[in-house]
Amino acid sequence: MSTFSEEKRTNKSTDVRRFFYSRGDRNEIKNLTLQYWKGEADEVIERARLASENTFVFTHRWDMERCETPVTFPNEIDWTFQFQDDFEWTVNLNRARFMAELGQAYWLTGEESFASHYIRLMKDWIRQNPLSEEEILESRSRHYNVKDTWRKLDSGIRICNWIKGYFCVRESEIWGEAEEELFKEALALHGHYLSIAYTPHDQQSNWGFLETNGLFQIALLFPHIEGSAQWMELALERMGVMCQLQVFEDGMHNEQSPMYHHEVLHCLFETVLLARKNQWSIPDIMEDTLNRMFTASLSFVKPSGYQPMTSDSDHTDIRDVLSRGALLNERSDLKHQGYDVLDFEGIWYYGKNGFDVYEELEATEPDFCSTHLEQSGYSIMRNGWSPDDHYLLFDGGHMDMIRAHGHDDFLHYDLVVHGSDMIIDPGRYTYKENEHRQYFKESFQHNTCSVDDCSISTYLDSWHWEDVAQPLNRYWRGDKEYDYVQSGHDGYMRLEDPVQVMRQILFVKPHYWLLVDSFKSKHVHDFAQHFHFAEHAALTNDSSKRKIQVKGGEGGHLDMTYLQNVSLTQEDCWISRDYNQKLKSTKVVARQKGSGQTTFVTVLNPYRDDEHPDMEIHEVDVYNTRSEKMSKGEVTAFEVKRGEESEVVLFSHDGPKSFQFEETQMTGEVLLIKRSCDGEERFIIKV
């Protein structure tokens, strides 16, 4: 089997530079994509037809800010137009994915009109958007974002899309010397701009990768453009430094947003793959970082194949990303969670040879199941890797490094039951500075806790926070019998009467989760938990029975049973799975008032239509070593009975001690006893 993971890299001085595809690949790419991904090919062709008519719509799964409403320019295109006063529409227009798709549509259909409209739109954009050296230098105070159509981020993306389309339409008879010269002038202008427009903030932001991928592609693929050798040195130096600065050891991008993690991964992937195809030497850290980023994506992918919607992320299928990573590094674990056949864009990247290699690559279950990303603070609990398994993602990490895409979501969790979303992050909806932006970013719209109806951190505007909370007392432990995670934060220590907050989650595999939220204060406060349910979920809640019952999709159910008396109220909420889209759903708020030690204990019990939740829960008395009964402020312990099996769980609220309970004496802070007809097992989860 030929390999994509080992290429000799020599940095040869040669006039022949290889793109992802060339003329000889055209028929094979066309045949494979139309055979295996006709739906996606049809979407590309349709968006290209619309662009040919000066109509633009942003519905690609990786459009960072989707807009499903077509906008038509009946006469001349206004490249600065803002649809519904949203500047993100403007930048999507100027990122020009439609230029790549015009090229793809030309190859897929053979229609010369697609090449003709690529040329027309290229000329129109260049004519309307000149850029001078003086403008670039004068924009330094604006971080080199010269004007709406010349921002660094968009320029890096734009030129990559132009290049993708170029390597298709240049085969057309209507592509002549004049078009070639104009295109090369545009490359030179973009390269010159991107070589200058780079700041320390870009070095720490996803913007830097998106810009530098464009600079690298110009320098590598068009070596005869003046300055390309210097641009190559700059691009590789920047990439190496950004890999060190921006990607944690656990593989997660440090803005801690799955959406932007994948944007950075995409840029690094294109750079690495092009370097391999051209046997071009790059810093080892780039290959290593990319592989770790693929592992992080594998860690947090949901059973459905989608990414979680935390921190400005959309509900996006990432199996294409995992498939390309599987082929790049011949990783059978990535293929296990990817597609059965190489994805649509993957065929354009790798061609027929790559398609065949992917087909031969074995898909094997990852050698880990639940996992903890230490630096980013994400913990993922699973009972397996099949599409109908359970999944819980917990966010116990700090807000992102540059406070850009992070939400006020300390201690948030997502819950998937039998492969179907049950408790979910509401998403992002918009970047416009309005009440919707605040709604989706503040802590109340995440599955977390609040005190006295105060947010955890203080929202200032779309990109700025005050009193940003920091994590406390983080701990993770995974075992074949259980997973356990905890984290607190100092967000409510700023109150006049400071409140300590702690969330603990114990997964008793594979049966149920225990959610324990603890608050310590001197005076009485109003404590609340917030739960946002997926749109398809049907809810009933009954405070008298201390229970919330949820019927989800695909025959999955969830019972949420409280140990304490709580007030349960049901409210409307919004869920935004994609930018510019929101649907009504339901949230439940559980409340208690208290002082000293106040605790919520919830048993989350998943089951199917054809199963019956045979579960009984009752509190257990606990004694110290002097046989003195301990108070609920000191310790919470209870037994969960499931037919002939049961578990006894103890949570100390006053640190590790020695406890007598259920005819047992154990020492620690979090303790678990599992009982069945085969005997008893004891676990000291945390000392």
Helices (H), 37-176: 38-52, 87-95, 97-109, 112-128, 133-138, 152-169
Q: Please determine, for residue 160, whether its predicted confidence score (pLDDT) is greater than 90.
A: yes
Which residue type occupies 429?
Answer: Y
* CA dist., res. 163 & res. 99, Å (int): 9
Q: What is the pTM of this model?
A: 0.95
Q: pLDDT band for 5, please (50, 70, 90 cuts).
A: very low
pLDDT of amino acid 577: 97
- On average, the pLDDT of the chain sits at 95
pLDDT of amino acid 2: 41
pLDDT of amino acid 1: 39
Q: Please determine, for residue 422, whether its predicted confidence score (pLDDT) is greater than 80.
A: yes
Q: Is 214 helix (H, G, I), strand (E, B) or coil?
A: helix
pLDDT of amino acid 554: 78
Average pLDDT of the segment spanning 387-403: 91
Q: pLDDT band for 3, please (50, 70, 90 cuts).
A: very low
Helix axes 97-109, 26-36, angle to 10 degrees: 100
Q: Is 468 helix (H, G, I), strand (E, B) or coil?
A: coil
Q: Which two tokens stand for residue 671?
A: 């303790």
Distances (CA, A) of 132 to 138, 150, 235, 559: 10, 11, 22, 63
pLDDT of amino acid 402: 80
CA atoms within 13 A on the CB side of 306: 17
Helix axes 344-360, 26-36, angle to 10 degrees: 90
Q: Please determine, for residue 389, whether its predicted confidence score (pLDDT) is greater than 80.
A: yes
pLDDT of amino acid 15: 60
* CA dist., res. 412 & res. 598, Å (int): 19
pLDDT of amino acid 544: 87
* DSSP code, position 635: E
pLDDT tens digits, 226-265: 999 999 999 999 999 999 999 999 999 999 999 999 999 9
* CA dist., res. 160 & res. 219, Å (int): 12
Beta strands of 384-470 (E only): which ranges? 391-395, 413-417, 420-423, 449-451, 458-461, 464-466
Q: Which residues pair with 604 in a beta bridge?
A: 513, 560
Q: Please determine, for residue 339, whether its predicted confidence score (pLDDT) is greater than 50.
A: yes
pLDDT tens digits, 32-91: 999 999 999 999 999 999 999 999 999 999 999 999 999 999 999 999 999 999 999 999
Count Cβ atoms within 10 A of the Cβ of residue 644 and give its class: 0-12 exposed, 13-18 middle, 19 or more buried. exposed
pLDDT of amino acid 420: 94
pLDDT of amino acid 312: 96
pLDDT tens digits, 466-500: 999 999 999 999 999 999 999 999 999 999 999 99
pLDDT of amino acid 613: 79
pLDDT tens digits, 600-652: 999 999 999 888 778 999 999 999 999 999 999 999 999 999 989 999 999 99
Average pLDDT of the segment spanning 567-572: 95
Distances (CA, A) of 592 to 279, 505, 601: 63, 19, 12
Q: pLDDT band for 149, please (50, 70, 90 cuts).
A: very high
* CA dist., res. 118 & res. 109, Å (int): 15
- pLDDT more than 70, % of the chain: 98
Average pLDDT of the segment spanning 530-549: 92
pLDDT of amino acid 11: 59
* CA dist., res. 404 & res. 311, Å (int): 9
pLDDT tens digits, 493-504: 999 999 999 999
Q: Is the bond into 613 cis (omega within 30 degrees of 0)?
A: no
Torsion over CA of 182, 188, 193 and 198, rounded to 10 degrees?
140
Segment among 122-126, 143-147, 398-402, 455-459 with least mean pLDDT: 398-402
pLDDT of amino acid 403: 79
